[in-house]
Amino acid sequence: MMSGGELVIPLGPYHPAFKEPELFKLYVDGESIVNIDIRLGFQHRGIEYLAQKLTVQQVVFLVERICGICSTSHPTCFCQAVEEAMGLEVPDRARYIRTLIAELERIHSHLLWAGVALHLIGYDTLFMYFWRYREPVCELFEELTGNRQHYAMLCPGGVRRDIDLKKMRPKILKVMKEIKEAITKLADAVARDRLVRARMEGIGVLTKQDAIRYCVVGPTARGSGLKIDVRADEPYAAYKELGVDVKVMTEGDVLARTLVRVLETLESVEIIERCIDSMPNGPITAEFNEYPVADGIGKHEAPRGEDIHYVKLNGTPVPERVKIRAPTYANLPSLVPQLIGYSIADAPIILGSIDPCFSCTERVSIVDVRNGRTITLSMDEFNEFCRKRKNPLKVR
């Protein structure tokens, strides 16, 4: 893999563009990346093992803690798998409440990502604008569920908490209207800015063929022309009644993945408006008191893509096996074709473009294989190189 003129640049395990620690070894020849190697496990918490020690009701709260950004994705997925195994029918109102929470989460997650991506290429003004519009969504969550994150809304068979639509309806609609206007304006600012385009257009291209072979999901797949969305393909919760218009771009570059997310945010606004207009009344949980010997699969379109859980019950409240596959796990290997051929300065935005789930302690070591010299950069320093498009090895 290594010949005389190549450098190895390990990004991580604590990494600038990531919410979780992972090790990326970039093999570079001059400025351009020739190969990459990925190592996971720095944040392995043994959730699947722990899930075999808790009851299904407790596992819901455990899986909610897998991700702090899309924190309703895993509970939705897990509950659906349990419901499938038990043959439980979820009440209508609960399905609508699940949809409302999931779509609000998608809006806040995509806005958070858009801000971070723009921050990575040095456009901090827009970063602040995007996050300014994320804040009202978090406040809505606090009012709806009691928490800004980790909503703890779901339980097998329905939802744990009803929402007071009479009181919340005008508040939700007001925030949605604000977001719709703001995102249309901000998206225009992103799409027309020549500097943003220069950093995103034609960068990190993932072809449709590669997207299929690497089995990518979510906005990463939809940015490469694959029309896959669990909400439309295998409607769950209330998506069948509410309908989803799947947004697809064919270019496969960072810009395409960005625009897919922007368009999806607008689509989520519309789904929420339809959802609160047609939300039925009724009970919010289905009761059960028997645990069968059965298994089930739960799927949910998380902000980052398809999330899938497999649950096997063994006749007791404690599940026999819980298998969790988060969307980033599927999207990470596709970074190999995305990064090869591009420069080191493009790496953070390409890595960021699949929206991988940030750690607080981040650093980068850069190794010069010609003389074995290693330099370690902090997150701020590395991002600075990204913004200025300089090779850190040439500076120090």
Q: Which is nearer to another protein, 65 or 213 (CB)?
A: 213
182 binds another protein (CB under 8 A): no
Contacting residue, 180, 325, 387, 390, with another protein by CB under 8 A: 325
Rounded to an integer, what distance in angstroms lies between the CA atom of residue 306 and that of residue 326? 7
**For the chain, give me the number of helices (H) and strands (E)?**
17, 10
217 binds another protein (CB under 8 A): yes
Binding mask 331-350 for another protein (x = CB under 8 A): -xx-----------------
Binding mask 305-324 for another protein (x = CB under 8 A): -x-x-x-x-------xx-x-
| Binders in 12-51 for another protein, by CB under 8 A | 39-41, 44, 46, 48-49
Which of these segments, 2-10, 60-68, 325-333, 361-369, binds another protein (CB under 8 A)?
Answer: 325-333
Phi, psi of 393, deg, nearest 5 = -65, -25
Contacting residue, 299, 319, 355, 383, with another protein by CB under 8 A: 299
| Binders in 121-160 for another protein, by CB under 8 A | none
Binding mask 257-296 for another protein (x = CB under 8 A): ----------------------------------------
- Helices (H), ranges, 165-312: 165-192, 194-200, 208-213, 218-222, 230-233, 239-242, 254-278
CA dihedral (364, 369, 374, 380) positive or negative: negative
β-sheet bridge partners, residue 347: none
DSSP letter at 258 equals H
Q: Which is nearer to another protein, 288 or 329 (CB)?
A: 329
Joined together, the tokens standing for residue 21 give 């620690």
Q: Which is nearer to another protein, 12 or 392 (CB)?
A: 12
**Where in 60-215 does DSSP place strands (E)?**
154-155, 158-159
β-sheet bridge partners, residue 9: 26
Q: Cβ 222 to another protein, closest distance in Å?
A: 11
Alpha carbons within 13 angstroms on the beta-carbon side of residue 54 total 15
Q: What's the full length of the chain, in residues?
A: 396
| Binders in 44-103 for another protein, by CB under 8 A | 44, 46, 48-49, 52, 84
Q: Which is nearer to another protein, 193 or 210 (CB)?
A: 210
Q: What angle do CA 221, 222, 228 make, to 5 degrees?
A: 85
CA dihedral 176, 178, 179, 181 (to 10 degrees): 120
Q: Cβ 66 to another protein, closest distance in Å?
A: 14
Phi, psi of 209, deg, nearest 5 = -60, -45
Binding site for another protein (CB under 8 A): 39-41, 44, 46, 48-49, 52, 84, 212-217, 226-229, 233-234, 297, 299, 306, 308, 310, 312, 320-321, 323, 325, 329-330, 332-333
